[in-house]
Amino acid sequence: MSAPSDNAALGTATAALPLQLPITLTVNGSARQIQVASWTTLLDALREYLGLTGTKKGCDHGQCGACTVLVNGRRINSCLTLAVMKDGTEITTVEGLAAGEVLHPLQQAFIDHDAFQCGYCTPGQLCSAVGLIREGRAKTPDDIRELMSGNLCRCGAYPNIVAAIEQTLRAAKQGGAR
Amino acid sequence: MNPFSYTRAADVATAVREVAADGAAKFIAGGTNLIDLMKENVERPARLIDINRLPLAEIQPRDDGGLRLGALVTNTDVAYHEQVERRYPLVSKAILAGASAQLRNMATVGGNLMQRTRCCYFYDTATPCNKREPGTGCSAITGFNKNHAILGTSEHCIATHPSDLCVALAALEAVVRVTGPGGERTIPFADFHRLPGDTPHLDTNLRTDEIITAVDLPPNGFAEHYAYLKLRERTSYAFALVSVAAALEMDSDTIKEARLALGGVAHKPWREQQAEALLHGQSASRDNFRRAAEALLHGARGFGHNDFKIELAKRAVVRALGQAAASEGHL
């Protein structure tokens, strides 16, 4: 797009930032500086600007949960937030869950319980479940089902997903770790 | 999404000044509804003013014994706040009945009030909609209107307000605090949202140059006898077909005070004080509940696909009142 038409479309707000906005996101522990358009979602910034394609675009409307990431430790839908709004935050994506070659306990539990078929929803399920465990509100399988209702699985792996989360919750409680 | 410019407001006065100076600007907080609507080209702001850095994310006790919910407190933080859970469990239950954990982590108190209808025709820019484009007509009245309103409708719009939280806030008679260029004012919850009438494009009575700063909960949270009953097509993560916020003050089996609000049935949370008055001094019986339900649904009208909501709402009211009467703080 050419600059003049952009300016016309954007109005004349005196405090308006330039079209490409510099932001810093600490993603999986490393500070990353990127330039994004104001309308770039956090999801697109992660996938297209930072090359972290583990986070998936499903519905792009906050209905399926495939884009779930952790921002400052809390799970959110990255498709429904703008990258500029998250300037200065710490983000964990599915790529940041494992410690090197050692899987996160939840990743291991997903394998143990065969908690996926096609795998497309899995990164979102994993990040969402990490958030759920941190929140500490889920005590029963029903709680898990309710608090994971923002993550859809078209393959229908739900029973195994719940079992994997249950196992991880139990282990976390016994080990006192997350 | 259309291109737009982006600024951050550092304080409430600046936010108000900036939005007042630019009619094409909108505030963004959690963004869970606004960004979705922008992706659908339903909302096309030329500028977004990010208010997330304003100091409005606190929950604080009030001198009158009530509780102030800052406009930027997330739904999660409200629902799990110790005082809200203990003193205003209706609010907590209503929030947790809505959306998903991810969305509740983003969505804010103020944004919940400002969210727009999920009417499928409002969302579909290829169809006429008086709310989206005044004067084009209402596609829902003769269309697929299973989710639409049965109370307070007009020939111009039969959309519903989608919030759960607002149904609880209406029942508790919360007060909305707003700031504009002329300073602060308060809006009783019943007056915050509008009926469609012949101006369905206006959802609320908030002026375009005002910002919500807080929602004040009155001292009485009806924490002993309450119920939030939400009926929907799946048991989680769906909008209400009908929801009921019921709150009672009981003296053994006698109802001293009753509050009833419905969600999913109108352009705003639906209350009818005459229906509540029918319960005052009465025993908590099914017959009395049904009488109140009939009064609350007085004048209800279906549009074909949503006719079922009239009887469903009455039965939901009876059930919710029964749950509230039986509850001792917990359902």
- Separation between Cα atoms, residue B103 and residue A79, nearest integer Å: 11
B39 and chain A in contact, CB less than 8 A: yes
pLDDT tens digits, A130-161: 999 999 999 999 999 999 999 999 999 999 99
Residue A10 within a domain: no
Contact: A77, B106; criterion CB under 8 Å: yes
Q: pLDDT higher for A129 or A7?
A: A129
* A141 contacts A161 by C-beta, under 8 angstroms: no
Burial of B192-225, coded b for 16+ CB within 10 Å and e otherwise, reads: bbbbbeeebeebbebeebbbbbbbbbbebbbbeb
pLDDT-derived band at A175 (thresholds 50, 70, 90) equals: confident
Which residue among A76, A96, A116 closes a domain?
A: A96
Question: What are the mean pLDDT values of chain B's consecutive 10-residue runs (331 residues total)?
Answer: 94 97 97 98 97 98 98 98 98 98 98 98 98 98 98 98 98 98 97 98 97 98 98 95 98 96 98 98 98 98 98 98 82 42
A110 and A170 housed in the same domain: yes
For residues A92 and A30, membership in a common domain is answered with yes
Both A169 and A113 in one domain: the answer is yes
Number of compact structural domains in chain A: 2
CA dist., res. B10 & res. B15, Å (int): 7
Phi first, then psi: give them for residue B17, nearest 5 degrees: -60, -45
Under 8 Å between Cβ of B49 and B8: yes
Dist. CA B226–CA B222, nearest whole Å: 6
CATH architecture for residues B226-326:
2-Layer Sandwich (3.30)
Predicted confidence band of residue A11 (pLDDT cuts 50, 70, 90): very low
Q: What CATH number should be reported for the domain holding residue A61?
A: 3.10.20.30
Report if residue A129 sits inside a domain: yes
Cβ(A24)–Cβ(A50) below 8 Å: no
A121 and A66 part of one domain: no
Q: Is residue A171 part of a domain?
A: yes
Please list the residues that pair with A70 across neighbouring strands: A75, A92
SS3 B260: strand
Q: Which CATH number fits domain B5-52: 3.30.830.10, 3.30.420.40, 3.30.43.10, 3.10.20.30?
A: 3.30.43.10
Q: Are B50 and A85 inside 8 Å of each other by CB? A: yes
Gap between the Cα atoms of B172 and B189, Å rounded: 9
What single string gives the DSSP state of each residue in B178-210? EEETTEEEEEEHHHHB---TT-TT--BS--TT-
Q: Cβ separation of B237 and A82 shorter than 8 Å?
A: no
How many Å apart are CA B257 and CA A88, to the nearest integer?
49
Is residue A52 helix, strand or coil?
coil
* A118 found inside a domain: yes
- The answer for B 212-271 residues in CB contact with A (under 8 A) is 236-237
- The domain in which residue A116 lies consists of 105-175
* Residues B15-69: tens digit of each pLDDT: 999 999 999 999 999 999 999 999 999 999 999 999 999 999 999 999 999 999 9
Question: Judged by CB atoms within 8 Å, which residues 69-88 of B form the interface with A?
Answer: 76, 80
Contact A10 B47 (CB under 8 A): yes
d(CA B187, CA B192): 6
pLDDT digit string (tens) for A62-97?
999 999 999 999 999 999 999 999 999 999 999 999
Are residue A124 and residue A85 in the same domain, yes or no? no
CATH for A123: 1.10.150.120
d(CA B161, CA A116): 36
Establish if A163 belongs to a structural domain. yes
The answer to whether residue B195 neighbours chain A at the CB level (below 8 Å) is no
Structural domain boundaries of chain B?
5-52, 226-326
